[in-house]
């Protein structure tokens, strides 16, 4: 079984092309103004139009209201919602009902209690994203931080899940082997500066995941 890979925080056609060429299964677009990776729905729509059908476009939002999500979906043919804030299980279930799309819930991991929290979303989310817990004053994701992959090495999950947090071309193979992940997510680990994707790093990351 091959490893799926999601390249998140894409902002240019060149970066999208690099992700597609390298074999990414998912590409993520950030709709969160404080992030250096933020895009408008109109800009994202142009990038999604370049995707082949087999690559899944993902909308990352952070505690977004219904009106904001509706504006994104009106402009962009998104196929997966990524809830990357403090959305409760009830809110995740509501997002699925209201918008009729699968939802991936991100959960920050720093210790066993966070792993237990992630399990609470298994009955409502379609997928989980196990990410490093964000610093209190930092962005909710894309901080280049990793967590102890051993915390989830022996967990059994009722839903498919992606591993995220501090992944790079240099450590992703170790991360996969330690955690047991079958899907990975990267953003800052393939950047030359915050929000600036490095095409060579994207290629190297995807080549590394394909080698497992």
Tokens 């994207």 identify what position? 202
How far is the C-alpha of 161 from the C-alpha of 174, rounded, in Å?
17
Q: What are phi and psi of 198, to 5 degrees?
A: -100, 115
The 10 Å Cβ neighbour count of residue 133 is 17
| CA-wise closest residue to 181 among 206, 143, 150, 203 | 150
Active site residues: 8, 131
């Amino acid at each position: 079984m091959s490893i799926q890979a999601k390249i998140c925080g894409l902002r240019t056609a060149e970066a999208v092309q690099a992700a597609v060429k390298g074999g990414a299964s998912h590409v993520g677009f950030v709709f969160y103004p404080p992030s250096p990776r933020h895009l408008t729905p109109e800009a994202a729509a142009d990038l999604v139009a370049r995707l082949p059908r087999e690559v899944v476009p993902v909308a990352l939002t952070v505690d977004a209201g219904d009106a904001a999500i509706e504006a994104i979906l009106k402009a962009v043919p998104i196929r997966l919602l990524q809830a990357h804030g403090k959305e409760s299980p009830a809110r995740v279930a509501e997002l699925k009902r209201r918008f009729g799309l699968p939802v991936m819930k991100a959960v920050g991991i720093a210790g066993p209690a966070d792993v237990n929290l992630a399990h609470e979303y298994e009955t409502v989310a379609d997928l989980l994203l196990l990410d490093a817990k964000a610093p209190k004053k930092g962005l909710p994701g894309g901080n280049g931080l990793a967590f102890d992959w051993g915390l989830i090495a022996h967990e059994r999950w009722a839903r498919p899940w992606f591993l995220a947090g501090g992944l790079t071309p240099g450590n992703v193979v170790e991360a996969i082997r330690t955690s047991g992940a079958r899907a990975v997510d990267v953003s800052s680990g393939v950047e030359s500066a915050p929000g600036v994707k490095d095409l060579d790093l994207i290629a190297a990351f995807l080549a590394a995941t394909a080698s497992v």
